Structure 1
Amino acid sequence: MHGMPARRMSRVPLKPDVNRTVRSFAFIACLSAMADPFGALGPTSALAQATETLEASRARKAQKGRSSVPRTAPPPPASTRDEDLAAAPPTFYSLSQLGDHLSSVRWELAAVGAGLVAIGLRDWDWGGSEFQFIEEGWFAKNTPHGGMDKIGHSFSTYVIADILTDRIRANASNPAGAPITGALVAFGIMGLGEAVDGFTGKHRFSREDIVANGVGAAFAILRNSIPGLREKLDWRLMYTPASFERPGITASEESGILPPYQRQRYIMALKGSGFETLKNTPLRYAELHAGFDARGFEPDERRLGYPIERTFYVGVGLNLNEVLFGPGSVPNFRKYKDTLPAWAVQKTFEYLQVPYTAAYAGHRFSTIRR
Structure 2
Amino acid sequence: MSNKITFTFLFVFISLSALGQQLNTFLKPSDTLNVKRRNAVVISETIIGTSALISLNSLWYQGYKQSKFHTINDLNEWMQMDKVGHAFSAYQLARVGADVLNWSGVSKKDQLIYGATLGFTFLSAVEIFDGFSKEWGFSWSDIAANSLGTGLYIGQELLWQEQRMQLKYSFSKSPYANRRPDKLGDSFIEQMFKDYNGQTYWLSMNLNAFFKEANFPKWLNLAIGYGANGMLTGENEVVNNMFTNQDRYRQFYLSFDVNLNNINTKSNVLKTIFSVLNVIKIPLPTVEFNSKKKVVFHLLLQ
Cα gap change, 1:366 to 1:116, in 2 (>3 Å): farther
Structure 2 equivalent of residue 57 of structure 1? none
Is the 1:309–1:365 contact (alpha carbons within 8 Å) kept by the matching residues of 2? yes
Instruction: Name the SS of the counterpart of 2:281 in structure 1.
Output: coil
Q: How many residues align?
A: 250
Match of 1:114 in 2: 51
Question: Could you report, residue by residue, the CA deviation over 1:184-214 in whole angstroms, capped at 9, with x for unpaired residues?
Answer: 3332211111001122222211121112211
1:116 to partner: Cα distance? 4.8
Query: What amino acid sits opposite 1:133 in the alignment?
Result: H
TM-score when scaled to structure 2? 0.69
Could you say if the C-alpha distance between residues 187 and 127 of structure 1 is closer, same or farther in structure 2, counting changes exceeding 3 Å?
Answer: farther
1:166 counterpart (92, 99, 124): 99
Equivalent in the alignment of 2:111: 178
Equivalent in 179, 197, 220 of residue 286 of structure 1: 220
Q: 1:155 to 1:285 in 2, by over 3 A?
A: closer
What displacement does 1:273 show? 5.0
The gaps in structure 2 that reach 5 residues or longer are 8-36, 236-241, 294-302
Match of 2:284 in 1: 358
1:163-189 CA-to-partner distances (Å, cap 9, x unmatched) read 111111111454433112223333221
> 2:161 matched to 1:235?
no
- TM-aligned CA distance change 1:279 to 1:345, over 3 Å: farther
Deviation at 1:300? 10
Q: 1:1-370 to 2 correspondence within 5 Å?
A: 1-2=1-2, 4-5=5-6, 104-119=41-56, 121-122=58-59, 128-138=65-75, 143-230=76-163, 232-238=164-170, 240-242=171-173, 245=174, 247-249=175-177, 252-254=181-183, 255=185, 256=190, 259-260=193-194, 261-274=196-209, 277=212, 283-299=217-233, 303=243, 305-322=245-262, 326-327=263-264, 334-336=265-267, 339=268, 341-354=269-282, 357-365=283-291
CA distance in structure 2 between the partners assigned to 1:127 and 1:236 by the alignment: 32
Alignment correspondent of 1:17: none
- Aligned CA RMSD, in angstroms, stands at 3.4
Task: Report % sequence identity.
Answer: 19
The match for 2:26 is none
Which residue identity is paired with 1:264?
Q
For the 8 Å contact 1:127–1:196, the answer to whether it is kept is no
Residues 228 and 274 of structure 1 are in contact (CA less than 8 Å); yes or no, is this contact kept in structure 2?
no
1:274-329 deviation line (CA, Å, top 9, x unaligned): 46847966x3343211010122233399739441111111112344445xxx23xx
Question: In structure 1, what is the equivalent of residue 32 of structure 2?
Answer: none
d(CA) in 1 for partners of 2:68 and 2:192? 24
1:87 maps to none
1:146 is displaced (CA, Å) by 0.8
SS of 1:177's equivalent in the other structure is helix
- TM-score normalized by structure 1? 0.57
In the alignment, the residues of structure 2 paired with residue 192 and residue 133 of structure 1 have an alpha-carbon distance, to the nearest angstrom, of 14
**Aligned mates of 1:125, 1:265 — CA distance in 2:** 31
Q: Separation in 1 of the partners of 2:114 and 2:105?
A: 11
CA distance in 2, matches of 1:199, 1:157: 22
What's the counterpart of residue 19 of structure 2?
Answer: none
**In 2, are the aligned partners of 1:266 and 1:292 still within 8 Å (CA)?**
yes
Structure 1, unaligned runs of 5 or more: 7-99, 328-333
Take 1:187 and 1:264, find their aligned partners in 2: how far apart are those partners?
A: 22
Partners of 2:97 and 2:117 within 8 A in 1: no
2: CA distance, partners of 1:190 / 1:314: 29
Q: Distance in 2 between matches of 1:194 and 1:127?
A: 15
Distance 1:206 1:117, change over 3 A: same
| Distance in 1 (alpha carbons) for counterparts of 2:251 and 2:191 | 25
The verdict on how the C-alpha distance between 1:352 and 1:110 changes in structure 2, with shifts beyond 3 A counting, is farther
Letter in 2 for 1:178: Q
| 2:227–2:250 Cα contact (<8 Å) kept | yes
- Structure 1 residue identity aligned to 2:251: T
